[in-house]
A and B are shown apart, each in its own frame.
Chain A
Amino acid sequence: MTDFIRFLEPQPAILSRRDAIVADLVDLLPKDCLIHAPRELVPFETDAFVSYRRVPLAVALPRTTEEVAAVMRYCHKYGVPVVPRGAGTSLSGGAIPQEDAVVLGLSKMSRILDIDLANRTATVQAGVTNLNISEAVSPEGFFYAPDPSSQLACTIGGNIGMNSGGAHCLKYGVTTNNLLGVRMVLVDGTVIELGGKHLDAGGYDLLGLVCGHEGQLGIVTEATVRLIAKPEGARPVLFGFETSEEAGSCVADVIGSGIIPVAIEFMDKPAIEICEAFAKAGYPLDVGALLIVEVEGSEAEMDAMLADIVEIARRHGVKTVRECQSATEAALIWKGRKSAFGATGRISDYICMDGTVPLSQLSYVLKKTSEIIDRFGLRVANVFHAGDGNMHPLILFNANDPDDAARAEQAGNEILKLCVDAGGCLTGEHGVGIEKRDLMTHQYGKVDLDQQMAVRAAFDPGWLLNPSKVFPLEGRPAA
């Protein structure tokens, strides 16, 4: 565990009342919905940003909005911090607790409440996984578009918290473009509803504000999302290039020419090798970089769009173009891509960056990234949503070597600063969490941050919700 990133110091007044808080919460919740035995709390000390860990005071697993509200009312009354948790798949440490906090886990709230095909909406509890929504409506020919690579496990509540994206968001937009309404518990236990089954808000777009709130404005307990009809056909095509730079400039040209495929995903050589070893999807191993471009529509539409893309790729020296021949092959191509992070675990520990850059800067940033990695004596695998300019360098290191871990973290910080300096931003879809918190001052000046904190304080004046995250500890308003 490295310790560059500090958490808020636990409040002794809360720690000393631990037993009383636990006893009260046990009374508030049904049997088996409160975890408080010290050893049972350890597995909740982290999420998928596993370099940082803090054991929480207790873990509440409510089953209804009313139970969430009861926990919030209690914690608000006694000033106990609360850290919301969906499936704990955050790559930015968004769900890592702190010692004086109650984790509010939504994993027992996993029911699909309403599927309304006439209005093309689904209303679900926040603990429903992203993929469950698509699976539930698939027989009817629909799907929920944003598809984070962790969609098998991550929850819609977590997706809303981080405004998650995914490979297919190039065409369909990220969570905020597909969210229609939420039911949400405010910090004091008040239950509110924002949006509904309709397209826009009557007044301020508070739903837009809530999407990406990183668990700091309230606890989303239910969500209504937009369903989209499945396309007539979809075809992923593999484009192999000699170098990452060529692949990068090809992406910029495709998008620049006005073509919007469903997805343009990038993998460099190390990433190709890792994913191929896991998924055996038939990725070409003799290229330096690979683009997975998915087109969809009727056969004629797909052929036409593909012809245009191939034409552009030729100008950038594409080495191989391979169209996928079957649904099984397409599934394997996406399985490999979506498992890229986990599959990296086969060869090394890693931390995953999430900077986003303007497409014109893609090649430059890729080149600079590898220079930074070389300077720190590390290795990197790049696999990311190229069409969105959303980069995910996976910095490989040895977690059992503190020096290696420290260098990986430093290199990561430099890469994220590079993204900002290139005109981009710190996070495309993973959120700021704890990981990028202290880099926020690189992206924003004091005025910007003060305004954002003022918005936050409008919802949670006492800074009880996920308080260690997003905003640097220095420069916060005095409590």
Chain B
Amino acid sequence: MQTNFTPAQLADPHVAESEKILRKCVHCGFCTATCPTYVTLGDELDSPRGRIYLIKDMLENGRAADEQVVKHIDRCLSCLACTTTCPSGVDYMHLVDHARAHIEKTYKRPLMNRLTRGVLAMVLPYPGRFRMALQLARLGRPLAPLFDRVTSLKPFAAMLRLAPKSVPPASASAQPAVHAANVAPNLTARGRVAILTGCAQPVLDPGINEATIALLTRLGIEVVVPQGEGCCGSLVHHMGREEQALAAARRNVDVWMREVETGGLDAVIITASGCGTTIKDYGHMLRLDPAYAEKAAQVSALAKDVTEYLATLDLPAHMPKGITVAYHSACSMQHGQKITLAPKQLLKAAGFTVRDPAEGHLCCGSAGTYNIMQPEISAQLKARKVRNIEATKPDIIATGNIGCITQIASGTGIPILHTVELLDWAYGGPRPAQLSAAKWASAGQPLGTPA
């Protein structure tokens, strides 16, 4: 597309980058078809092409963000289905990142909206605060219908509904430690990795990282939980709070580079694909910071989703177990990180029968804090996702992102687990706690009979 920026505007590296992105768009409209909000609302303003146009108009005119632009950008899930679809290679992610940062700088949100976002940014990235908030939410749950009646309070109703009925106790897996590889004393480990502890995930479901550590060490990998790790910054990044996001990125880069320099790392293992997309982008986020650009790029290159890493380890194939798993690919997995085959191949090799639900490219509506900030659209997407998943008649749902797990679990009775929990089970770990019902006891152990 033609663009209209002055040389002065293009002197800003963020504008210059966005201009390059806009120049690639040919306005063909393919992206509209796979955009969850366009498919749901049928309004081009809530499609990638419409948003690209709104952003272009705002940036070209050097305008502050206004209520309308904010409405349509806020409705974007950042699922990046558009990027997978786009034949022209439009880098929508970095364009919308820029737009969000621009909104944060130039637009004053209504009070309640500011407050909600402030609370989320202050609580979610910090496991201690988040755990306490969940306990409070459990008590406040009966208030949800009350909050629903006031538009500006709806996000709080959504938060109360999403909060689990019980909060698991803090897990040792989140404590800094070196988990030695389970190999004979005279042998060395096959590899050495760091694991991202994360922020919300270890509070909501510590079993995911426990299973990851157990499986990797059993496979002969040394797993480090480094001292000083924090939230990846994704949550505030998607709110346009750039400085906060970059601070989170710098802290983690420091932590992992220290490990690289001391013990060496083959990978930084990530068990929430939402975090993976962001950490793989650290190199880009910090490109303008001479002190960090190179280190951040190195960390991004080391970042691997746990399934991406497991796929390199040649796990043995198992006999079919007669258990059907619907694999839900998180958007950050399939669109953000372009990991599509590895998780399914691992599950199949482990003996599970894997089903692909229809409309797999569509988001489940979780999308970070989207299910809190946009509860209505999110609920429609959840219903559609659950319908498609249940149509495959699975015994279990597997996915690779805690956001999707929480979202989908709130809409179905079918157990939903992280892919790695099923893999750990198949390769010698205990049966996941969620599968404790009588039905699963008869599934029998050990599941891992080599073919």
Interface residues of A (CB under 8 A from B): 1, 32, 35, 37, 39-40, 42-44, 46-48, 50-51, 61, 87-89, 105, 107-110, 127, 129, 131, 150, 152-154, 278, 339-346, 349-350, 399-400, 405
Is B142 among interface residues, defined by CB-CB distance under 8 A? no
A345 contacts which of B44, B50, B72, B89 (Cβ < 8 Å)?
B89
Q: A278-B87, A345-B24, A349-B2 are in contact. Are A43 and B29 (CB under 8 A)?
A: no
Give bound CA distance, A344 to B87, whole Å: 8
Q: A48-B26, A87-B32, A278-B87 are in contact. Are A43 and B42 (CB under 8 A)?
A: no
Q: Say whether A50 contacts B27, CB under 8 Å.
A: yes
Q: Closest B residue to A109 by CB, please name it.
A: B42
Residue of B23, B26, B68 contacting most chain A CB atoms (<10 Å)? B26
Q: Which residues of A contact B54 (CB under 8 A)?
A: 39-40, 42-43
Q: A48-B27, A87-B29, A87-B33 are in contact. Are A343 and B88 (CB under 8 A)?
A: yes
9 contacts between A and B (CB under 8 A): A50-B27, A88-B29, A107-B42, A129-B33, A131-B33, A278-B87, A340-B87, A399-B1, A400-B23
Given contacts A47-B29, A150-B29, A405-B2, 17 further A-B contacts (CB under 8 A): A32-B43, A35-B43, A35-B45, A37-B68, A40-B68, A42-B57, A48-B29, A87-B32, A107-B38, A153-B33, A339-B87, A341-B26, A349-B1, A349-B2, A349-B23, A349-B26, A399-B23
Q: Say whether A153 contacts B68, CB under 8 Å.
A: no
Q: Say whether B53 contacts A345, CB under 8 Å.
A: no
Q: Which residues of B contact A87 (CB under 8 A)?
A: 29, 32-33
Task: Give the total number of A-B pairs whose CB atoms are below 8 A apart.
Answer: 120
Q: A399-B1, A400-B3 are in contact. Are A43 and B44 (CB under 8 A)?
A: yes
Q: Say whether B44 contacts A50, CB under 8 Å.
A: no
Q: Which residues of A contact B33 (CB under 8 A)?
A: 87, 129, 131, 152-153
Give bound CA distance, A50 to B30, whole Å: 14
Is B85 among interface residues, defined by CB-CB distance under 8 A? yes
Q: Which residues of B contact A340 (CB under 8 A)?
A: 87
Q: A42-B57, A345-B89 are in contact. Are A105 and B30 (CB under 8 A)?
A: no
Q: Say whether B42 contacts A127, CB under 8 Å.
A: yes
Q: Closest A residue to B43 by CB, please name it.
A: A61
Is B332 among interface residues, defined by CB-CB distance under 8 A? no
Q: Which residues of A contact B72 (CB under 8 A)?
A: 40
Residue of A37, A89, A342 contacting most chain B CB atoms (<10 Å)? A342
Is B25 among interface residues, defined by CB-CB distance under 8 A? yes
- 5 nearest interchain CB pairs? A342-B87, A345-B88, A108-B42, A345-B26, A339-B87
Q: A39-B54, A40-B68, A48-B27 are in contact. Are A346 and B88 (CB under 8 A)?
A: yes
A346 contacts which of B24, B27, B38 (Cβ < 8 Å)?
B24
Q: A1-B2, A345-B88 are in contact. Are A107 and B26 (CB under 8 A)?
A: no
Q: Say whether A153 contacts B29, CB under 8 Å.
A: yes
How distant is B16 from chain A, measured CB to nearest CB, in Å? Answer: 14
Q: Closest B residue to A336 by CB, please name it.
A: B87
Give bound CA distance, A107 to B35, whole Å: 13
Q: Say whether B86 contacts A342, CB under 8 Å.
A: yes
How distant is B231 from chain A, measured CB to nearest CB, in Å? Answer: 34
Contact with A along B35-47 (1 / 0, CB 8 A): 0001101111100
Give bound CA distance, A87 to B3, whole Å: 23
Q: Say whether B3 contacts A342, CB under 8 Å.
A: no
Interface residues on B, range: 35 or more
Q: Closest B residue to A2 by CB, please name it.
A: B2
Interface residues of B (CB under 8 A from A): 1-3, 23-34, 38-39, 41-45, 49-50, 53-54, 57, 66, 68-69, 72, 85-90
Q: Which residues of A contact B34 (CB under 8 A)?
A: 152
Q: Which residues of B contact A127 (CB under 8 A)?
A: 42
Q: Say whether A43 contacts B26, CB under 8 Å.
A: no
A44 contacts which of B38, B39, B44 (Cβ < 8 Å)?
B44
Give bound CA distance, A165 to B194, whole Å: 54
Q: Which residues of A contact B39 (CB under 8 A)?
A: 110
Q: A131-B33, A152-B85 are in contact. Are A342 and B28 (CB under 8 A)?
A: yes
Q: Which residues of B contact A150 (CB under 8 A)?
A: 28-30
Q: Say whether A40 contacts B24, CB under 8 Å.
A: no
Q: Which residues of B contact A46 (CB under 8 A)?
A: 27
Q: Say whether B49 contacts A50, CB under 8 Å.
A: no
Residue of A40, A48, A153, A349 contacting most chain B CB atoms (<10 Å)? A153
Q: Say whether A39 contacts B57, CB under 8 Å.
A: yes
Give bound CA distance, A342 to B90, whole Å: 10
Q: Which residues of B contact A61 (CB under 8 A)?
A: 42-43
Give bound CA distance, A342 to B26, whole Å: 7
B28 contacts which of A44, A48, A107 (Cβ < 8 Å)?
A48
Residue of B72, B87, B89 contacting most chain A CB atoms (<10 Å)? B87
Q: A43-B50, A152-B34 are in contact. Are A343 and B87 (CB under 8 A)?
A: yes
Give bound CA distance, A98 to B428, whole Å: 67
Q: Say whether B88 contacts A153, CB under 8 Å.
A: no
Q: Closest B residue to A399 by CB, please name it.
A: B2
How distant is B128 from chain A, measured CB to nearest CB, in Å? Answer: 41
Q: Which residues of B contact A345 (CB under 8 A)?
A: 24-26, 28, 87-90
Q: Closest B residue to A335 by CB, please name it.
A: B87
How distant is B67 from chain A, measured CB to nearest CB, in Å? Answer: 9
Q: Which residues of A contact B3 (CB under 8 A)?
A: 400
Q: A39-B66, A39-B69 are in contact. Are A88 and B30 (CB under 8 A)?
A: no
Q: Closest B residue to A341 by CB, please name it.
A: B28
How distant is B45 from chain A, measured CB to nearest CB, in Å? Answer: 6
Q: Say whether A39 contacts B68, CB under 8 Å.
A: yes
Q: Which residues of A contact B86 (CB under 8 A)?
A: 342
Q: Which residues of B contact A89 (CB under 8 A)?
A: 28-30
Q: Closest B residue to A39 by CB, please name it.
A: B68
Give bound CA distance, A47 to B69, whole Å: 20
Give bound CA distance, A37 to B68, whole Å: 8
Give bound CA distance, A61 to B23, whole Å: 29
Give bound CA distance, A284 to B223, whole Å: 45
Give bound CA distance, A120 to B163, whole Å: 48
Give bound CA distance, A289 to B192, whole Å: 50
